Structure 1
Amino acid sequence: MPSLNSPRRFVYASLAATIFIVYGSLYPFAFHGGSPVAAVRTLFLSDHMRDQPFSGLIANIGLYVPLSLFCVAAQNDARPAWRQVLWATGLGTVLCVGIEISQFFDTGRVTTLTDVYANVAGTLFGALLALPLTRWLDRPGDMNSPARQTAALLLLSFLACRLFPYVPTIDLHAYWRAIKPVVIHPSVHGFDVVSYAVTWTVVAALLRDLAGRRRSRWLLVAVMLAMLSAKILITHNRLSLSELVALPVAVAAWLVLSTRQRAWAGGVLAVLLGLVIVGDRLLPFDWQPIGHAFGWLPFFSILHGSMAANTQALADKVFLYSSLVWLITVAGPRHAVAGALVAAGLFATSVLETHLPGRSAEITDAVIALGAATVLGWLAVSPGTGQTAAGARIKPVRDTPPAAE
């Protein structure tokens, strides 16, 4: 079977990551005059490490991880590993230094060497991570399957959105604060229970593509227990009684759905997840006759306000919209059709949000859906075979049914 690590595909992904970094770093593009010498001097004399919030540090590291990961994957495997890492890290370093100097001329932006440290660290981490990851994905065997690689990617995005800010703590008071909402002020909300249950059932479907139908049942329980433990150990996280109630519901739902054909189960989950996304965006439906403006500038709201909250919100959107696109393709349609359907639905709900108080109505969600469909489409097509994650048969893992069943 031909390699799934097509260099051209990762070149495009690297360009997309670069565009995203430039956009997010230089917005709102309100440039003014100034001296290049002063910009360079400001960069090397400004170190705001003590003033940098931890969430901002994590965001600056994570921002450059995809770029270097894609850059390493795009290179010729014949190159020595140290050259691949050096080339990707050097590219990321040049980019972040150039952006920091450019921010000197951008109103509302701050030029600081602290961001360079974090960006270079993220670039190096992504490059080192790419070495074993690309070889693992390219080896002949079970993981050299579009369906399994797609499932692995979506599961990683699930962990990214649920475990933010990824920092464990040894403070016993923090552990108590994490479980306090369940013990002191327990409350269950119906929509939250449904939302959590559907999300966990989607995770179970991903686990089936990754490890097989039977294994997915006990793996789902193992991942649930691990996730609850991690949320207690990670700072600033809180447990929810609604989520605890949803866990056995999700297990029961998956015991039923796992016995059905993959396409049928994918279609059911696509409908349920779509309804959850619509409900989350529109409820409570407090319609106002006079609406507010629609935002046509992508990622406008994400680039404003709390960096921690916005980073987690973005990660959550990426997982939900990507999963919905994937479930629709499992049910039958191609990635382009699935992306268009999800983007159209998100655009329609965004328009409705212009008449709902406290909502940010903008084009961002539709753009994320289209981007997710593009990435999953790239990953799904196996060069030389034309197979896709929706149509390929999963290579033999005991008790794993064909992915197209």
Structure 2
Amino acid sequence: MPSINSPRRFVYASLAATIFIVYGSLYPFAFHSGSLAAAVHTLFLSDHVHDQPLSGLIANIALYTPLGLFCVAAQNDARPAWRQLLWATAMGATLCVCIEITQFFDAGRITTLTDVYPNVAGTLFGALLALPLTRWLDQRVDMDSPARQIAALLLLSFLAYRLFPYVPTLDLHSCWRAVKPVLIHPSVHGFDVASYAVIWTVVAALLADLVGRGRSRWLIVAAMLAVITAKIIITHNRLSLSELIALPIAIVAWQVLSTMRRARAGGALAVPLALVIVGDRLLPFDWQPIGHDFGWVPFYSILHGSMAANTQALADKVFLYSGLVWLMTAAGMRHAAAGALAAAGLFATSMLETHLPGRSAEITDAVIALGATAVLAWLSAAPAVARAGAERRSDRPRAQDTFNVAE
């Protein structure tokens, strides 16, 4: 259990990560009768039932990484590091073994040790990441600030989407395939340019909350170079000429927005981001008079099909919808109103998608927006504990001093 000084929110975050893992691992909850002994026997004798593809391996590791990170962050800092690691890894191992055994009774699921290994590895990786990260943040960054916590979460979801599948390669042919679309038969689409420009401007605003408004003006350029370089050396990624054209547009846009007051800048950026989300969901608007069914089961499409594509799509949705709610609250709206407005808009576009071919019209997007709003409201309501060092640094943002000029 966490100490008094340890953020209790990490305990709830660990619980939320556990619920997400259980839901994603046991859906559609089509249970049948069977023997517990047979389930355990199947688990320990089926470690080679199927070959794990690289995308599935990465997804299984990534699924349990937040659990390991949150479990360590929720513990008493006075505990030895090895105990924190052992406790977090044991929690992850126990959870994944229980889930694998339960999957024996779930139709359509496979019980195998092939999934246990990367799950435990993901938990351990998250726990190992938490130790230096939490210590560095305690020493260098005032992460008690809700503004920084929210910015960090949104930036992580952005990187999770843009850098998937996170596997670097030194193969020159793979690097050539990444830059080939820009050099050979390049194509530019107006909506893509606008979309990338808006998204990168939102990233710049998040960086301002994380490191300060002044630093963000040059750090956004470094972030752009880092992400583009990473996309070249990460396997299965492709560069886009539309994005490269959008980068200088986003830089100029942020230079202007960073001089505005909070409400005005938030509103000026929320409107184009909302338009990007709507356009991405509905364009090209190929309306069909006869629509298909609407899905009322949350995350149905994400839990079916390609694990790699669905993982990337989920990270993209979390970033876009959280970013929209964050900007609306920066413009002066309450979290409840911003979340309700975003969810209503997503629900409306999902209903329209029932008449668009190739679209998965379902309740998932509205649910993601509401969940993101709950997390943002929860973090914003937490009291910010200002450090003496932060008070002496005017460029370091506090909970209310973010990317705008102080009001």
Q: TM-score, normalised by structure 1?
A: 0.92
**Which residue in the other structure is 2:288 paired with?**
288
**Which residue in the other structure is 2:15 paired with?**
15
Deviation at 1:224, TM superposition (A): 0.8
**Which residue in the other structure is 1:107 paired with?**
107
**Which residue in the other structure is 1:390 paired with?**
none
**Which residue in the other structure is 1:391 paired with?**
none
Q: Name the CA distance, whole Å, in 1 between partners of 2:322 and 2:71.
A: 23
Specify whether residues 397 and 349 from structure 1 end up closer, same or farther in structure 2 by C-alpha distance, changes over 3 A only: farther
How big is each residue's C-alpha offset from its partner over 1:109-145, in whole Å with a ceiling of 9 and x where there is no partner? 1111010000001111112222233344455864432
**Which residue in the other structure is 2:95 paired with?**
95
**Which residue in the other structure is 2:210 paired with?**
210
CA contact (8 A) 1:211 1:397 kept: no
Q: Name the CA distance, whole Å, in 2 between partners of 1:196 and 1:384.
A: 33
Note the residue ranges of structure 1 that are not aligned, 5 or more in a row: 388-393
Q: Which moved more, 1:71-80 or 1:134-143?
A: 134-143
Q: Name the CA distance, whole Å, in 2 between partners of 1:53 and 1:140.
A: 39
- The 5 Å alignment of 1:187-198 reads 187-198=187-198
What amino acid is the match of 1:127? A
Residue 353 (str. 1) matches residue 358 (str. 2): no
**Which residue in the other structure is 2:303 paired with?**
303
**Which residue in the other structure is 2:370 paired with?**
370
Deviation at 1:216, TM superposition (A): 1.2
**Which residue in the other structure is 1:233 paired with?**
233
Deviation at 1:325, TM superposition (A): 1.3
**Which residue in the other structure is 1:36 paired with?**
36
**Which residue in the other structure is 1:221 paired with?**
221
Q: Which moved more, 1:364-373 or 1:332-341?
A: 332-341
Residue 381 (str. 1) matches residue 381 (str. 2): yes
**Which residue in the other structure is 2:82 paired with?**
82
**Which residue in the other structure is 1:273 paired with?**
273
Q: Name the CA distance, whole Å, in 2 between partners of 1:169 and 1:266.
A: 38
Q: Which moved more, 1:72-81 or 1:25-34?
A: 72-81
Q: Name the CA distance, whole Å, in 1 between partners of 2:64 and 2:123.
A: 5
What amino acid is the match of 2:94? V
**Which residue in the other structure is 1:165 paired with?**
165
**Which residue in the other structure is 1:54 paired with?**
54
**Which residue in the other structure is 1:244 paired with?**
244
Q: Name the CA distance, whole Å, in 1 between partners of 2:17 and 2:153.
A: 16
Q: Which moved more, 1:112-121 or 1:126-135?
A: 126-135
- Where 2:376 maps in the other structure, the secondary structure is helix
CA contact (8 A) 1:193 1:246 kept: yes
Residue 320 (str. 1) matches residue 323 (str. 2): no
CA contact (8 A) 2:144 2:384 kept: no
Q: Which moved more, 1:318-327 or 1:27-36?
A: 27-36
What amino acid is the match of 1:134? T
Between Structure 1 and Structure 2, how many residues are aligned? 396
CA contact (8 A) 2:6 2:77 kept: no
Q: Name the CA distance, whole Å, in 2 between partners of 1:132 and 1:306.
A: 34
CA contact (8 A) 1:298 1:367 kept: yes
CA contact (8 A) 1:136 1:143 kept: no
Specify whether residues 5 and 179 from structure 1 end up closer, same or farther in structure 2 by C-alpha distance, changes over 3 A only: farther
Deviation at 1:396, TM superposition (A): 5.3
Deviation at 1:35, TM superposition (A): 2.0
Q: Name the CA distance, whole Å, in 2 between partners of 1:218 and 1:108.
A: 50
Q: Name the CA distance, whole Å, in 1 between partners of 2:359 and 2:57.
A: 28
What amino acid is the match of 2:33? G
Specify whether residues 219 and 141 from structure 1 end up closer, same or farther in structure 2 by C-alpha distance, changes over 3 A only: closer
Deviation at 1:260, TM superposition (A): 1.1
- Where 2:192 maps in the other structure, the secondary structure is helix
- Where 1:299 maps in the other structure, the secondary structure is coil
